[in-house]
Amino acid sequence: LSQELDRQGRLSWAVEEFARIPDTIKKLDVGPREMDPDGFWFLPGVRQMDPTTRGRVRALYLLRERFASRLDRPAFKVFGTPLLFDLAVNPPDSLASLQPRNGLRQSGINKFGKDVVEALQQAKPVKGPAPKRSRRRQNRRLTDVTSRERFEALRHARSSLAAELGV
């Protein structure tokens, strides 16, 4: 790729653009996402569960979010939703009764087991309806006329310049 860019006289452009990437990333200021304590309501099947099981799901969901934040990993990589539901429906009585299962190996029990059992034992039933969540826009198209016009003008200018430069 570098040889092709050099042949077209564009290698210095690429080097310049790549050098700007770290500063651009710093300017984005992407911090940790905010944890939604009611997010468990939007896991598939939670609304049909009884209040006691729903309370266990909530406790495990909050625990999973806390571990994910601490480990800087996506929550589903800490424990998947099927495991979360399995533990909520079939809770272990103690750390000794927490056995490996689909999605939870012995190393996970050693690392998280005490906290999982404790969260399940302290879980309180969750009653009542799920909170309303604001609807997100279904498409990502620009709906503001001015923004749409600016976008189209920029897209046209970019396409024209790219055709001129042969890129």
Q: Return the number of other C-beta atoms located less than 10 Å from residue 108's C-beta.
A: 17
121 has a pLDDT exceeding 80? yes
Tell me the pLDDT band of 135, cut-offs 50, 70 and 90: low
Mean pLDDT calculated for residue range 93-116: 92
Q: Is the pTM for the entire model greater than 0.75?
A: no
Q: What is the pLDDT of residues 63-74, one digit of tens each?
A: 999 999 898 888
More confident residue, 34 or 138: 34
Give the distance from CA 104 to its chain's centroid: 20
30 pLDDT above the threshold of 70: no
Lowest-pLDDT choice from 20-29, 52-61, 63-72: 20-29
Confidence tier at 133 by pLDDT (50, 70, 90): low
Backbone angles phi, psi at 104, to 5 degrees: -140, 105
* Alpha carbons 80 and 42: distance in angstroms, whole number: 14
Does the CA dihedral 135-68-25-14 come out positive or negative? negative
Mean pLDDT on 1-6: 86
Question: pLDDT tens, 86-95?
Answer: 999 999 999 9
